[in-house]
Structure 1
Amino acid sequence: MTEIGFYHLTRSTLEQALPRLLGRVLALQQRALVLCASEERLKSLDDALWTCPEPDWLPHGTRDGAVQPIFLTLADAPPPNGAQHLFLTEGSESVHLPLYARAFDLFDGGDENAVAAARRRWSAAKAAGHALTYWQQGERGWEKKA
């Protein structure tokens, strides 16, 4: 079963938090797929990954997925880049979850609807037998709460 981490954003935006998480994946010499729910978010994340201060280089793209270490996409399809790490944004879900070793479900803690939707996804993932963790942003970074 895929290990799913729920990441409750309370101190930064997705555009600020995602680069560091992706940097950790690349440090493991792994690949990632970022599933976006909208064209606007895809563009915003693409821009953020090019301009983020830390890490200063995140090789990624939105085309030619097979060659991208980090592939940003709107399409829920098997990972063309062989990614073992799936990043789910804006409540996106994937029917291809079993193809990944780990999934990161990032949600905005300032949006009540996003929090309620994340709770529903947690319950469904738990019922499906996935290993779950819950992380919340604290003063010193991510704090594991469950």
Structure 2
Amino acid sequence: MENLVNAAVRVDFYHLTRDPVEKLVPMLASKSLDVGKRILLLASDADSRATLSKALWSDDPASFLAHDVAGSERQADQPILISDRCDPANGAPYGILSDGYWRDDALAFERVFFLFSVEQIDQARTAWRDLTANPDVTPRYWKQDGGRWVEGP
């Protein structure tokens, strides 16, 4: 992945106040795949990656979201690749930062979904301030309103 920032990178901040990350990730992944975009799903620890993998398989009993982990033999073929590094071996233009930790390498994606919990609000605010100061980034904030996600101020 190049270290250059794409023009007009969109970063969607998702503030998790009600549902856990494993509930939101399948929805974001499904919507991204629906518009023909591959995804690199980032999680810093192995337990989180395993939980997210299970959520992608079992979120909708009528279907599953095909995926694999970075380093696998067929990683380049995967519509969703789960990793601990910002290295989209599957050519993903979209990244999901599921662990609440901002990575500047994510600015090489076309679009980034940055998921953070209430406990990670300080890190998210720092990332928001830094990214809003960058003219090549379009940040957007999403919050939970009942069972839906709405764009906030």
TM-score normalized with structure 2 length:
0.85
Percent identity between the aligned chains? 29
| Cα distance in structure 2, aligned partners of 1:82 and 1:55 | 27
* 2:126 paired residue among 94, 117, 120: 120
Going from structure 1 to structure 2, the CA distance change for 1:20 and 1:99 (only over 3 Å counts) comes to same
Kindly indicate whether residue 95 of structure 2 is the aligned counterpart of residue 89 of structure 1.
no
Give deviations 1:7-51, integer Å, cap 9, x for gaps.
011121001111011100111121010111111111110111111
Q: Rate the CA distance shift 1:74–1:145 in 2: closer, same or farther, 3 A.
A: same
Given the alignment, which residue of 105, 121, 140 partners 2:114? 105
* Stretches of structure 2 lacking an aligned partner (at least 5 in a row): 1-7
Structure 1 residues without counterparts, runs of 5 or longer:
none
1:6 aligns with 2:13: yes
Query: Are the counterparts in 2 of residues 15 and 48 from structure 1 also a CA contact under 8 Å?
Result: yes
> Structure 1 residue 54: deviation in Å?
6.8
Q: TM-score, normalised by structure 1?
A: 0.89
Partner of 1:36: 43
CA distance in 1, matches of 2:61, 2:115: 19
CA distance in 1, matches of 2:67, 2:90: 11
Q: Comparing 34-43 with 94-103, which one deviates more in the overlay?
A: 94-103
CA contact (8 A) 1:2 1:131 kept: yes
Distance in 1 of aligned mates of 2:62 and 2:34 = 10
Q: What is the DSSP-based 3-state SS (H/G/I as helix, E as strand, rest coil) of the residue aligned with 2:76? A: helix
The residue aligned with 1:66 is: 76
Moved more, 97-106 or 22-31: 97-106
* 1:16 maps to 2:23: yes
Q: CA RMSD in A?
A: 1.6
**Distance (Å, rounded) in 2 between the aligned partners of 1:87 and 1:75:** 11
Separation in 2, partners of 1:44, 1:15: 7
